[in-house]
Amino acid sequence: MQFQHRHILGIKQFSAEELNFILETSASFKEINTRDIKKVPTLRGKTIINLFFEASTRTRTSFEIAGKRLSADTVNISGSSSSVVKGETLEDTARNIEAMHPNIIVMRHNASGAAAYLAERMGCSVINAGDGTHEHPSQALLDAFTIRQHKGKISGLKVAIVGDITHSRVVRSNIDCLNKLGAEVWISGPKTMLPPGIERLGCKVAANLTEALTEADVVMMLRIQHERQGKTLIPSLREYSRYFGLNDKNLKLAKPDAIVMHPGPMNRGVEISSVVADGPQNVILDQVENGVAVRMALLYLVSGGEKLAEN
């Protein structure tokens, strides 16, 4: 099929067919990462700017490596959490960067909608690497890729996502992505972390952790973001880990072959016990590994994709 999108702003823009196509393309890139010489000339001469207004190590590095392995020139720019802090509007920042003629801008920003805002104003491609609490499409795609790798399919699986749903962009993208690919998504967390109307995004809200975990094929734990929350959402991390943390006991509620995922970075002993985080069911490092392949596919596809055959 022909990939028609110039920007990757969110999962919402894709059909199930397109999502599958991205995953297939990712699979073809994965092999490159295991070669001795991990580089193909696909994006030679292209410039990619990683514009990160929010701190991120994992996603930024993953995009940077993805770009470099495709032979693109990658440049990292990190800004303060909001462009206005510097007295410059996001639009002005964008214009200045555009004047340097990049081919792709990968942006993370703390404002929901920032990627779409940028895309409307830019001639180059924009990839959303996380906008506020809205979307994080490359994470959802690498999660789907990892699930497929371990389960052979996505359709018909029960996926439980547990944690701070309100403040998670990963959740919003994952619900949409997994839904379109035929999974049944359940979410769970303390009520202070469940936003109203979340079920309208296409998931089921579990009454408690037990209901979410029971017979689950995939358990995805979210990071409790101490630094972001007001103090009123949970009484203590201790209590959180007791009622909403994943440990070797409650993991037994899930199917015996269930996989455990985490978008990272993990708070060991809070949302996930070390026994589980390091246990045989965890696929957390596979997620990180697959992230590079998925991001290579995204960079390649928004660039037009016509040169793949040469590799």
Beta bridge partners, 261, equal: 220
- Applying CB under 8 A, does 87 fall inside the site for other proteins? no
180-199 binders of other proteins (CB under 8 A):
195-198
Binding track over 132-171 against other proteins, x by CB under 8 A:
xxxx------------------------------x--x--
- Applying CB under 8 A, does 81 fall inside the site for other proteins? no
Write out the H or E segment, with its range, that includes residue 119: helix 114-121
Dihedral of the alpha carbons of 147, 287, 165, 50, in degrees to the nearest 10:
-130
Which one of residues 107, 114, 206, 212 is an interface residue with other proteins (CB under 8 A)?
Answer: 114
- Applying CB under 8 A, does 223 fall inside the site for other proteins? no
- Applying CB under 8 A, does 108 fall inside the site for other proteins? no
Site size for other proteins, by CB under 8 A? 27
> Which position has the token pair 């930024």?
60
Output 83 or 290, the one with its CB closest to other proteins: 83
Establish how many alpha carbons lie within 13 A of residue 174's alpha carbon, considering only the half-sphere containing its beta carbon.
Answer: 31
- For 241-281, the DSSP string reads HHHH-B-TTGGGGS-TT-EEE--S---BTTTB-HHHHTSTT
Q: What is residue 166's three-state secondary structure?
A: coil
Enter the DSSP assignment of 209. H
- Applying CB under 8 A, does 240 fall inside the site for other proteins? no
User: Is 108 part of the annotated catalytic residue set?
Assistant: yes
Q: Which stretch binds other proteins (CB under 8 A): 59-67, 129-137, 153-161, 240-248?
A: 129-137
24-43 binders of other proteins (CB under 8 A):
none
User: Is 86 part of the annotated catalytic residue set?
Assistant: yes
How far apart are alpha carbons 220 and 143 in whole angstroms?
Answer: 9
Contact 220, 175 (CB under 8 A): no
Q: Regarding beta strands 184-188 and 158-162, do their DSSP bridges make them parallel or antiparallel, or are they unpaired?
A: parallel
Report, in Å, the least distance between residue 168 CB and other proteins: 9
Report, in Å, the least distance between residue 90 CB and other proteins: 6
Which one of residues 60, 109, 180, 262 is an interface residue with other proteins (CB under 8 A)?
Answer: 109
User: Is 58 part of the annotated catalytic residue set?
Assistant: yes
Contact 54, 81 (CB under 8 A): yes
Instruction: Please give the positions annotated as active site.
Output: 58-59, 86, 108, 136
Residue ranges binding other proteins (CB under 8 A): 82, 84, 89-91, 109, 111-114, 116-117, 131-135, 166, 169, 172, 195-198, 200-201, 230
